[in-house]
């Protein structure tokens, strides 16, 4: 344990591409231990965390604030309505200033380049709390939840918008950790071919597969069915078009039954639009683990904070 804490100390989490399978395993195991603790241990006393938000959030903001605050740390929420980020002041200069005052920085927003620039200039760990490209802290909670329910997960199926941030981070984590992932999506929403090729190469090393199809029958045998909103934050103008394109890909009980298993679990990063990408019957039903998954955001984020702050 001590060895890996040292290895991750000072590191940012911008995408899971930067983390090895061993490092991800360590974070998942730490999160499981943190979840089992009866009382917080005051791990972050004297430390400060800047929480920068260009986009809205319930889970990510609350997970960072509670995980850090209950361990004695001081989180500070800063929306782009409050600070100069990228408008009057460059990202570089904001990073330099925040890095002088905070122990670490979380960023949620549009461009992946912004979180990467923050990390380059801050001199403290920077965490990606969601960008248009990736949602790495979500994928850690997703795998933790999958492993809590299925002993040796073999197949996760993501169904919906195959190129969104959640689908991409899931693909990276599954490829690294040896879980087969199948993305079911219409051809017009297929993941970027370069991204896919990179993940397929990683999957070869972990002896798993990354596949993409439009065929709903590919859910057969799945350990988990995962979906997300059809139009992500920033894509509000595409809502109507997506709704008709993705209607056949709704996760309803008939689709869950197509797995041929009764122990397949349902996952969703939330927030969910019931009646669109998932029916209420499924997300509020016995196969759903979406609420455990939401709770696990806090434990996995606490594991990332503890490891990278070296406490
Ligand atoms: N899953 C997730 O990131 O939720 P929020 O947008 O509420 O943070
Ligand atoms: N793909 C969604 C995830 C929300 C947690 C979005 O970016 O809006």
**CB crowding 78-100: b at 16 or more within 10 Å, else e:** bbeeebebbeeeebeebbebbbe
pLDDT at 6: 65
CATH code at 138-293:
3.40.50.1370
Task: Answer yes or no: same fold for 6-134+297-309 and 138-293.
Answer: yes
pLDDT band at 80 (very low <50, low <70, confident <90, very high): confident
Ligand nearest to the CA of 170: 2
Domain ranges of the chain: 6-134+297-309, 138-293
- Examine the pLDDT at 3 and tell me if it is beyond 60: no
- Rounded mean pLDDT, 78-105: 91
pLDDT band at 87 (very low <50, low <70, confident <90, very high): confident
- Rounded mean pLDDT, 163-185: 98
Domain 6-134+297-309, CATH among 3.90.180.10, 3.60.130.10, 2.120.10.80, 3.40.50.1370: 3.40.50.1370
Query: pTM of the full predicted structure?
Result: 0.97
d(CA 269, CA 236): 18
Instruction: Ligand 2 pocket test: pick from 110, 128, 232 the residue with the most ligand atoms within 8 Å of its Cβ.
Output: 232
pLDDT band at 81 (very low <50, low <70, confident <90, very high): confident
* Three-state helix/strand/coil letters over the chain: CHHHHHHHCCCCECCHHHCCHHHHHHHHHHHHHHHHCCCCCCCCCCCEEEEEECCCCCHHHHHHHHHHHCCCCEEEEEECCCCCECCCECHHHHHHHHHHHCCEEEEECCCHHHHHHHHHHHCCCEEECCCCCCCHHHHHHHHHHHHHHCCCCCEEEEECCCCCHHHHHHHHHHHHHCCEEEEECCHHHCCCHHHHHHHHHHHHHCCCCEEEECCHHHHCCCCEEEECCCCCCCCHHHHHHHHHHHHHHCECHHHHHCCCCCCCEEEECCCCCECCCECHHHHCCCCECHHHHHHHHHHHHHHHHHHHHCC
CA of 205 to the centre of ligand 1 (A): 31
Mean of pLDDT over the chain: 96
- Rounded mean pLDDT, 265-285: 98
Ligand nearest to the CA of 232: 2
Q: Which of 47-51, 78-82, 168-172, 183-187 is the least confident region?
A: 78-82
- Examine the pLDDT at 2 and tell me if it is beyond 80: no
pLDDT at 7: 83
Contact yes or no for 282/252 (Cβ under 8 A): yes
Residue 137 Cα: closest atom of ligand 1: 3
pLDDT band at 82 (very low <50, low <70, confident <90, very high): confident
Q: Which residues line ligand 2 (CB under 6 A)?
A: 130, 164-166, 228-229, 232-233, 269
Residue nearest to atom 6 of ligand 2 (CA): 232
CA of 63 to the centre of ligand 1 (A): 9
């Amino acid at each position: 344990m001590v060895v890996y804490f040292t290895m991750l100390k000072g590191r940012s989490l911008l995408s899971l591409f930067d983390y090895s399978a061993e490092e991800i395993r360590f974070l998942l195991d730490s999160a499981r231990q943190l979840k089992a603790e009866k009382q917080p241990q005051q791990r972050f006393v004297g430390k400060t965390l800047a929480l920068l938000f260009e986009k809205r959030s319930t889970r990510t903001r609350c997970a960072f604030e509670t995980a850090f605050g209950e361990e004695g740390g001081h989180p500070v929420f800063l929306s782009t309505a409050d600070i100069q980020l990228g408008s009057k002041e460059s990202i570089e200069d904001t990073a330099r200033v925040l890095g002088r005052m905070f122990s670490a920085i979380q960023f949620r927003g549009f461009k992946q380049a912004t979180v990467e620039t923050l990390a380059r200039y801050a001199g403290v760990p920077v965490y990606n709390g969601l960008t248009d490209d990736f949602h790495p802290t979500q994928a850690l909670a997703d795998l933790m939840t999958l492993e809590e329910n299925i002993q040796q997960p073999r197949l996760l199926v993501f169904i919906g918008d195959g190129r969104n941030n959640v689908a991409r981070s899931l693909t990276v984590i599954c490829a690294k950790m040896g879980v087969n992932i199948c993305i079911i999506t219409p051809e017009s929403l297929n993941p970027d071919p370069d991204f896919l090729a990179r993940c397929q190469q990683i999957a070869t090393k972990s002896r798993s597969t990354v596949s993409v199809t439009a065929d709903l029958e590919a859910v057969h045998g799945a350990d988990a069915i995962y979906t997300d909103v059809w139009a992500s934050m920033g894509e509000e103008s595409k809502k109507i078009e997506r709704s008709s394109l993705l209607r056949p890909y709704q996760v309803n009980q008939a689709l869950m039954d197509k797995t041929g298993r009764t122990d397949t679990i349902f996952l969703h990063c939330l927030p969910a639009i019931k009646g669109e990408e998932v029916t209420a019957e499924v997300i509020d039903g016995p196969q759903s683990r979406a609420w455990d998954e939401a709770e696990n955001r806090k434990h996995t984020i606490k594991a990332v904070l503890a490891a990278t702050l070296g406490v």
